[in-house]
Amino acid sequence: MVFALYVNDLPKASAFNSTHFYDDTVMCISSGNCIELQKLVNTKLQKVDEWMRFNKLSLNYSKTSYMLIGPRGKRLHDFTVKINDNAISRANSSKFLEVYIDDKLTWSDHISNL
């Protein structure tokens, strides 16, 4: 509970829409242009990193990932996401509140994990 109070002002530090659950945070942002989105994500993640360092928090880069959600059949631009020169890995699916969400918003990963 103390952690939730501690990170409560994180949404004010960036343009991401943030959701917190215990010690997990999911941040979302969107754009109609993949190249602009990549620039926006990297710029805003720098702000998040500055906020974290100011609040004496650290990010576990090996547990951090990003997911691009887009239309089926459309190849999305290859992203490079970095925080402090640490490359962030891309995930095709992720578990959030016991629900598996994939980058095409299908239920296949969730169903196969049931």
Distance, first Cα to last Cα, the chain:
29
pLDDT of residue 101: 82
Residue boundaries of the structural domains of the chain: 2-113
Cα separation, 24 vs 59, whole angstroms:
11
**Are 28 and 44 spatial neighbours (Cβ–Cβ below 8 Å)?**
no
DSSP string, 37-91: HHHHHHHHHHHHHHHHHHTT----GGG-EE-----TTPPPPPP--EETTEEPEE-
CA 1 vs. chain centroid, Å, equals: 22
- Tens-level pLDDT at each residue, the chain (114 residues): 455 556 666 666 677 777 666 667 778 888 887 888 888 889 888 888 888 888 888 888 888 888 888 766 566 667 788 888 889 888 888 888 878 888 877 888 888 887
**pTM (2 d.p.):** 0.76
3-class DSSP assignment, residue 21? strand
Cα separation, 12 vs 1, whole angstroms:
19
